Homo-oligomer: A and B are copies of this chain.
């Protein structure tokens, strides 16, 4: 197990928590409903990416650790819900870690399927955010990332940076860490200072 792989499982774990919490908002979900939301949120982005790339088998098809990480997230939400407030900041950190990792992992996978730079950045962002979009659609909310905060934008900026540094011949692991860190930094700074993209609304 590489460090990157362990971080990825952490990302799945935290995305599963975010899905379980979203299901919980609707108040009427039973355990199955919560589990379903957790699964969709955690593996939905990667699944869609693999379908779009035509990559077989899907990542979770023969990696049970991903499945265990989702279940761990569901259990964690069920057991520790009441003491969540203390953890909330740590969770945002992990969620952002997941976001950064999934972006770069998705980008590299798209490249390995012959994607051009634009599509690679798009696929990286897509991998990272699409689970959340599916999650919000399932509970009939307008997806959060359409409206608030710098989220997908951080992925796009990080993806472009990765390609630039790659173009300058930077070592892949170093590039992974730098570009990922930039995604994390953009996200944390914009959350802290409540920065968001301009609204589009025209009337």
Residues of chain A at the chain B interface (Cβ within 8 Å):
20, 23-24, 26-34, 36-37, 47, 51-54, 56-58, 60-62, 64, 67, 77-78, 81-82, 113-116, 118-119, 133, 137-143, 145-148, 152-153, 196-202
Given contacts A67-B118, A142-B139, whether A201 and B29 have CB atoms under 8 Å apart is yes
- Chain B residue nearest to A156 (CB atoms) is B32
Residues A30 and B115 in contact, CB atoms below 8 Å apart: no
CA gap between A91 and B33 in the complex, in Å: 24
B residues in contact with A56, CB < 8 Å: 54
Identical copies of this chain, number: 3
Q: Which of B30, B52, B146 contacts A23 (CB 8 A)?
A: B146
B residues in contact with A196, CB < 8 Å: 30
B residues in contact with A33, CB < 8 Å: 143, 145-147, 200
Residues B47 and A147 in contact, CB atoms below 8 Å apart: no
Q: Which of B30, B67, B115 contacts A146 (CB 8 A)?
A: B30
Q: How far is the CB of A45 from chain B (nearest CB, A)?
A: 13
Q: Which of B23, B198, B202 contacts A24 (CB 8 A)?
A: B202
CA gap between A116 and B116 in the complex, in Å: 34
Seed contacts A23-B146, A30-B199; 11 additional CB < 8 Å A-B pairs: A30-B197, A31-B197, A31-B200, A33-B146, A51-B51, A57-B113, A61-B119, A62-B119, A64-B116, A64-B118, A78-B200
